[in-house]
Amino acid sequence: MAVHPIEERYGTAEMRAVWSEKNRFSCIVAAEVALAKAEAKAGMIPANDAIIIEKAAKNANLERAKAIEFEINHDMMAIVKAISEVCGDSGRWVHYGATSNDILDTATGLQLAQTLDLLDTKLRKLLSILLRRASETKNLVCIGRTHGQHGVPTTFGLRFAIWASEIGRHIERLEQMRPRVVVGQMTGAVGTQAALGPKGIEVQETMMEYLGIVPVDVSNQVIARDRYAEYFMFCANVATTLDKIGIEIRSLQRTEIGEVEEAFGSKQVGSSTMPHKRNPIKSEQVCGLARIIRSSVEPALGNNTLWDERDLTNSSCERVLFPEASILTDHCLRLMANVLEGLVINKPAIRRNLSFLHGINMAESVMIELTRKGMSRQDAHERVRVASMKALSEGKPLADVLGDDPEVARFCPRDSLVALLNPDSYIGTSVQQVERVISKLNPLAV
């Protein structure tokens, strides 16, 4: 029976595997093997013993380690004993010169490397979908909204391009933070490397080279948690972008707006009591889970404020934070990619909404033209504002109200007003902006 939804309901199999007990154990064993090999290379332990440890450690058993932990109540030492048991006499060198967090934090670095690879792939896939949808809709004019009210026109392509640009920045952030987050250490009980002697720095660098991750420059008993806090803030940032997209889709799928709709299966059920319902449940799920992902930031920041050379308050917290935030972020990326891939765009509804105010939302266009023709910008703003309020209150087209104003007519005759109030002619450089974004970000997409 699943206790947490990430065990069954949320998450991909590949990301759950990264944060599974089995993979955690494998990463710890890999760190111990790399340590032995590095110490052998530095002449600190016999080379033959390191070879035996590398070969035999593959037979170390997670269940045996858990049985030992039940007896001694120390998870890391239990794994050390489980590895040592399968290495015969060479087991005496397992964990030599190390403290628990040298291995545990280094194992976390390996898991984060795997995690970032998965997130990177999904971000690039999502970017590819957004760029394609931006290209498809770059000329699709729709109403722009500010404060939830109709503004001047925009295009669906511009919306997709804005989201794509944000995802592109997340890809850049991921690559920039990778060397700060995917790190390991071998610094000993309080960070001095005293147990390793004068070759401590050499051993640490060689060990991390074997593992393919970056060694810390300096640490105490644990890797400074500002690194991990950056990772959790990254997850929260990605989740918030997905939240933003989800909110827009949900808003545009409202019955009275109806401009987009999540794909709906032929046998899908929208409500247990209202048979007609077609709800944006995937976007809602993303928006809901984004709250959980963002909630990881505060405890992650708190984990950096440990006592002296370290205490244990970060440990229990991180056992929850890492798998939860990683699995949910990965899940939301996959879910939103599916939503955007299948998103239905309702062009008739878009056109209906575009003309909903009978040109009143195009007031800016008239104001700009009046100013260009010679009227004071402030006078033009006030004259068009008054006309717009009258058109709204009386339910008249703006062209009719403005056409009755002799001062407006002096600068813009009625036929010019009709052209100025055409939303299709007032999208500025939006198409060029979309094309520029596509050209810039295509190399990052899958």
Domain boundaries, the chain: 5-45+96-138+149-261+277-351, 360-420
Would you tell me how many other CB atoms lie within 10 Å of the CB of residue 168? Answer: 21
Nearest one of 264, 286, 295 to 277, comparing CA atoms: 264
pLDDT at position 300:
97
User: Inter-axis angle of helices 156-181 and 226-252, to 10 degrees?
Assistant: 170
Specify whether the CB–CB gap between 31 and 109 falls below 8 A.
no
pLDDT at position 19:
97
**188: burial class by Cβ within 10 Å (0-12, 13-18, 19+)?**
buried
CA dist 188 to 84, 183, 232, Å?
19, 16, 26
Residue 189: CA atoms inside 13 Å, Cβ hemisphere, count? 6
Instruction: Please give the chain's pLDDT, 446 residues, in tens.
Output: 578 888 888 999 999 999 999 999 999 999 999 999 999 999 999 999 999 999 999 999 999 999 999 999 999 999 999 999 999 999 999 999 999 999 999 999 999 999 999 999 999 999 999 999 999 999 999 999 999 999 999 999 999 999 999 999 999 999 999 999 999 999 999 999 999 999 999 999 999 999 999 999 999 999 999 999 999 999 999 999 999 999 999 999 999 999 999 987 777 877 666 777 788 999 999 999 999 999 999 999 999 999 999 999 999 999 999 999 999 999 999 999 999 999 999 999 999 999 999 899 999 999 999 999 999 999 999 999 999 999 999 999 999 999 899 999 899 988 889 899 999 999 999 999 999 999 999 999 98
**Is 271 one of the annotated active-site residues of the chain?**
yes
Q: Which of 147, 276, 316, 393 is catalytic?
A: 147
Specify whether the CB–CB gap between 55 and 33 falls below 8 A.
no
Strand 214-215 to strand 260-261: parallel, antiparallel, or no bridges (unpaired)? unpaired
Distance CA 337, CA 333 (A): 6
**Is 147 one of the annotated active-site residues of the chain?**
yes
CA 386 to chain centre: 45
Strand 344-345 to strand 260-261: parallel, antiparallel, or no bridges (unpaired)? antiparallel
Nearest one of 203, 177, 170 to 188, comparing CA atoms: 203
What is the secondary structure of 257-285 as a DSSP string?
A: T-SEE----TT--S-SS-TT----HHHHH
pLDDT at position 291:
98
Q: Which of 20, 74, 271, 376 is catalytic?
A: 271
**77: burial class by Cβ within 10 Å (0-12, 13-18, 19+)?**
middle
CATH placement of domain 5-45+96-138+149-261+277-351:
1.20.200.10
What is the chain's percent helix, strand, coil content, to nearest 5? 70, 5, 25
Specify whether the CB–CB gap between 445 and 128 falls below 8 A.
yes
Strand 183-184 to strand 214-215: parallel, antiparallel, or no bridges (unpaired)? parallel
Residue type, 172: E
CA dist 429 to 153, 156, 158, Å?
12, 13, 10
Nearest one of 214, 207, 138 to 180, comparing CA atoms: 214
Structure tokens given for 292: 């959980």
Q: Tell me which DSSP letter residue 397 carries.
A: -
Q: Where are the alpha helices (DSSP H) in 261-413?
A: 281-294, 297-302, 313-342, 347-354, 363-373, 377-394, 398-403, 406-411
pLDDT at position 356:
93
Structure tokens given for 217: 């420059």
User: Which residue, chain included where needed, has tokens 């596509």?
Assistant: 438
